[in-house]
């Protein structure tokens, strides 16, 4: 007779748990019921473009690529972006449910109110539920699997309840400027973001991009006086902020680029056998990691602001990492101001800061990026069970103490956990689900039928002891449960799984000079996988390896890296050399500003408007504003300015430059040119002197031959050059411009 399993939660963890119980165990072993309090599946992830009810903005770009945000046996569509939007993750989960969970009983809109263990002589659980209509029910199950998520509810500091006269919301509630400030704006000029880790950096960067777009887009601004607002980011310690694409060759002036997680999950850069790089971080280990981060970014972040620099004694402390494409350059421009301290109180339009003491005045709104507490996700468990799990509501990193990497407790063998930890990489969730399925299939952790590999893994497991120790360890890492690659190998060893080899010959990268060996969930297919599942895994692996080869050999993602790094202000020094007396030669000195804004449809085909109207993301673009003084060789000097619109097409991975309209210099008029990057010859990237690009434009009878040279310092542009050669019946001149920070 099948064992009945109650799964609490239908997010990624609950769905992969149900799939593993139904497909990785022998047929008929488990009868699975999934309870979800929301009216849809997905948990944090929105179900569609307009789903604003959850904790994640539907348009949020994931900070990991689709090669990591996946399960082993379902590939993403070929045309999906490398970094999916949140709503696209929701669609992926819907496909996963349709493909694998037809045999599961899925009860949406049903809250698990109470789950109590039965008497010891009758192992199991009594589960009480309440539907959205108020109907209650009680059922008996052999096993209870908790997949209710680590992000139970926002963790709000006591200061949040003080007498603030401004909007105060949690970062998970932020959607746009109008919902935050209202259509009329309000008193104050500073949007205060509190919290310096992942969500704080991401939220500050997002709000800054919205402010920039409101100030520099054509037409009437969505809020009055949008240019008066800035972001004030209050942090207790700086984090290393990585862009979404980084390089495995940061010392090259023409580095190749890949999504960040493909580089961080490169096993060729790790010593083998793998060891855990998280948990307790010694001073020496901290210094080493800080140095790796600094080398990867090419800076200690001082170039952006001293407030975010990491140097000196700070390199002894465990490093923290955050991800944002625009945060650091907005810090450099001043749209984001960073200060250190702890929020002590809110009153009127001011925020009191402690350690060091001070006051932030003229506050317009407050965003609390202070994380989540997980204990409310376990509210249905009785106090006796919580005591066994050593639940600590105040510990946001190690809320409960669980065995074998967050999966179970030996005193509660019929209770399991999937995804109940910070930074739930999808591969780990899948491995946790497989581990529980295998252990429960055998009869539990004490069963003589337990596979030898699992028994040996449990005998040497010290996860509970380590969790309790880390609770009081001042040197605990940002993600204390363990690093991704090590955890994947730990589970694979316990389950007797062998990581598949790369399907293609992969390019070699320094410093190991070994072929790229990227760890993805698709490399750990279940031993019971069907031919269809194998085909999905192989499809996924081909996608990962193809995009890696393209990034390393053909210059894919360079256009995106250039576009990202243009944000802000540049010094411009330009020489014009004319061979015709009608066009004077001379020198221009001034500034060029790249002002970020949401993509506009001006000058584009009507299909762009239809796609945006249908909910497609319009992407981002820059309004380019150049101002300075031109001094002609004949002594004449005058003020000069020009404008363009720069765009990046993610689908084509292409940069383009557009003329602006004469009657509205914020609007694009027509295409000037597209930028074509020239991939360095094999083995010549390090000596190339930067990324070269070309373009051409015929303007009536005049032809513009355009040459670019972009010199990177790791992930950021150090300087770049632009040269035009213009020839026509009445024109014959060259323009050579150099842009530097």
Mean pLDDT of the chain: 93
pLDDT at 686 over 60: no
Instruction: Express each pLDDT in 306-351 by its tens digit.
Output: 999 999 889 999 999 999 999 999 999 999 999 999 999 998 899 9
Q: What is the structure's pLDDT at 432?
A: 98
> Would you call 374 helix, strand, or coil by DSSP?
coil
pLDDT at 508 over 90: no
Strands 731-740 and 716-728 turn out to be antiparallel
Distance from C-alpha of 451 to C-alpha of 25, rounded to nearest angstrom: 13
Distance from C-alpha of 213 to C-alpha of 224, rounded to nearest angstrom: 13
Q: What is the structure's pLDDT at 509?
A: 81
pLDDT at 80 over 80: yes
Q: What is the structure's pLDDT at 52?
A: 85
CB 580 within 8 A of CB 731: yes
pLDDT at 724 over 50: yes
pLDDT at 685 over 50: no
For the residues 213-230, what does the mean pLDDT come to?
A: 95
Q: What is the structure's pLDDT at 424?
A: 64
pLDDT at 183 over 90: no
Q: What is the structure's pLDDT at 682?
A: 56
pLDDT at 683 over 60: no
Helices (H), 259-408: 260-264, 283-297, 327-333, 383-388
For the residues 490-511, what does the mean pLDDT come to?
A: 87
610 compared with 555, residue with greater pLDDT: 555
Q: What is the structure's pLDDT at 186?
A: 78
Q: Residue 688's pLDDT band (boundaries 50, 70, 90)? A: low
Whole-model pTM?
0.95
CA angle 133-137-143, nearest 5°? 125
Strands 691-699 and 702-713 turn out to be antiparallel
| Paired tokens of 215 | 């100030």
Say what percent of the chain tops pLDDT 90: 83
CB 264 within 8 A of CB 291: no
Give helix 426-442 / helix 452-459 axis angle, nearest 10°: 110
Instruction: Express each pLDDT in 589-608 by its tens digit.
Output: 999 999 999 999 999 988 78
């Amino acid at each position: 007779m099948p064992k009945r399993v109650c799964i609490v939660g239908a997010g990624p963890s609950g769905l992969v748990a149900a799939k593993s119980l139904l497909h990785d165990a022998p047929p008929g072993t488990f009868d699975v019921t999934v309870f979800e309090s929301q009216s849809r599946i997905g948990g944090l992830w929105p179900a569609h473009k307009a789903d604003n009810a959850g904790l994640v903005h539907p348009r949020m770009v994931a900070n990991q690529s689709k090669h990591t945000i996946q399960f082993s046996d379902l590939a993403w569509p070929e045309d999906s972006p490398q970094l999916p939007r949140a709503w696209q993750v929701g669609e992926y989960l819907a496909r996963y449910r349709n493909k694998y969970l037809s045999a599961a009983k899925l009860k949406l809109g049903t809250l698990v109110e109470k789950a109590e263990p039965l008497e010891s002589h009758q192992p199991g659980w009594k589960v009480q539920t309440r539907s959205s209509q108020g109907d209650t029910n009680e059922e008996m199950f052999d096993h209870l699997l908790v997949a209710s998520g680590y992000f139970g509810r926002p963790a709000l500091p006591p200061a949040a309840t003080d007498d603030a006269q401004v909007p105060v919301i949690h970062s998970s509630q932020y959607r746009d400027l109008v919902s935050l400030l209202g259509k009329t704006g309000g008193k104050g000029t500073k949007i205060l973001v509190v919290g310096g880790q992942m969500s704080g950096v991401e939220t500050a960067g997002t709000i800054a991009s919205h402010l920039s777009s409101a100030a520099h887009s054509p037409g009437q601004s969505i809020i009055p006086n949008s240019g008066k607002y800035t972001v004030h980011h209050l942090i207790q310690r700086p984090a290393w902020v990585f862009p979404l694409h980084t390089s495995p060759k940061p010392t090259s002036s023409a580095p190749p680029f890949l999504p960040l997680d493909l580089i961080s999950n490169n096993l060729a850069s790790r010593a083998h056998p793998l060891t855990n790089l998280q948990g307790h971080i010694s001073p020496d280990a901290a210094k080493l990691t800080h140095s790796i981060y600094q080398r990867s970014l090419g800076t200690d972040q001082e170039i952006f602001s001293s407030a975010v620099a990491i140097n000196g004694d700070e390199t002894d402390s465990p490093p923290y990492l955050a991800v944002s494409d625009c945060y650091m350059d907005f810090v450099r421009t001043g749209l984001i101001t960073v200060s250190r301290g702890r929020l002590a109180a809110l009153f009127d339009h001011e925020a009191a800061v402690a350690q060091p003491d001070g006051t932030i005045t003229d506050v317009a709104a407050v965003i609390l990026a202070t994380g989540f507490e997980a204990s409310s996700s376990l509210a249905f468990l009785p106090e006796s069970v919580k005591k066994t799990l050593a639940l600590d509501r105040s510990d946001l990193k190690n809320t409960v103490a669980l065995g074998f990497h967050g999966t179970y407790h030996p005193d509660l063998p019929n209770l399991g956990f999937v995804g109940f930890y910070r930074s739930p990489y999808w591969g780990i969730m899948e491995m946790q689900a497989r581990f529980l399925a295998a252990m429960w299939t055998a009869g539990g952790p004490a069963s003589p039928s337990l596979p030898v590999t699992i028994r040996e893994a449990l005998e040497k497991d010290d996860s509970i002891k380590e969790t309790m120790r880390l609770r009081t360890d001042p040197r605990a890492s940002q993600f204390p449960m363990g690093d991704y690659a090590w955890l994947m190998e730990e589970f694979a060893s316990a389950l007797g799984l062998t990581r598949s080899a790369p399907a293609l010959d992969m390019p070699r990268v320094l410093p190991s000079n070994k072929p790229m060996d990227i760890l993805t969930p698709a490399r750990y297919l279940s031993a019971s996988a069907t031919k269809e599942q194998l085909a999905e895994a192989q499809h996924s692996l081909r996608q990962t390896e193809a995009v890696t080869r393209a990034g390393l050999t053909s210059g894919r993602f360079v256009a995106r890296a250039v576009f990202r790094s243009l944000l802000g202000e540049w010094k411009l020094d330009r020489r014009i050399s004319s061979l015709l007396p009608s066009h004077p030669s001379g020198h221009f000195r001034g500034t060029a500003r790249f002002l970020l804004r949401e993509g506009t449809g001006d000058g584009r085909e009507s299909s762009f408007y239809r796609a945006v109207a249908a909910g497609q993301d319009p992407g981002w673009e820059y309004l380019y504003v150049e101002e300075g003084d031109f001094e002609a060789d004949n002594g004449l000097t005058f003020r000069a300015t020009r404008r363009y619109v720069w765009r990046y097409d993610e689908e084509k991975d292409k940069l383009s430059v557009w003329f602006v309209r004469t009657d509205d210099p914020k609007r694009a008029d027509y295409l000037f040119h597209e930028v074509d990057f020239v991939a360095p010859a094999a083995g010549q990237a390090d000596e190339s002197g930067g990324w070269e690009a070309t373009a051409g434009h015929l303007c009536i009878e005049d032809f513009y031959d355009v040459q670019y040279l972009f010199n990177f310092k790791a992930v950021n542009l150090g300087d770049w050059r632009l040269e035009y050669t213009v020839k026509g019946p009445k024109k014959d001149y060259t323009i050579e411009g150099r842009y530097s920070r």
